[in-house]
Amino acid sequence: MANHDELNLTNIQIAEGTPYYDVLLQIIQEIGKDIRPTYTFNKSTCEKLKRHIHTAKVLIKACQTEAENDRKKADAAVEAMRIQALKEAREAKKEQQQKQEEEADN
């Protein structure tokens, strides 16, 4: 996954550890600012727009990877909770059976 240094963010102030989604939103805002000046075929503005688009592509991939990892973690947590609930249900059922056997013996 890309880190903030690899993203070529020249005019954007980003604190280290900022989520990729927030950085992507800032890049999209910068792209919006660069669109109109490109109509004049200003070469530097066109190059800046190309860099921002490339950076946005990298950030989109990073966001997708991050979202996939979050989904996997959530799935693992749900599965762990399900297993724990099954374990508790088995223990409760076993205790109930033991009580019934004790009552039947008495």
> What are the angstrom distances between the C-alpha of 103 and each of 46, 50, 92, 95, 100?
85, 79, 17, 12, 5
pLDDT of 56: 92
84-106 tens-digit pLDDT: 999 999 999 999 999 888 888 86
Indicate the pTM of the whole model: 0.61
pLDDT of 1: 47
12-46 tens-digit pLDDT: 666 666 788 888 999 999 888 888 887 888 888 88
Buried b vs exposed e over 70-105: b needs ≥16 C-beta within 10 Å? eeeeeeeeeeeeeeeeeeeeeeeeeeeeeeeeeeee
pLDDT of 105: 80
CB atoms within 10 A of CB 7: 21
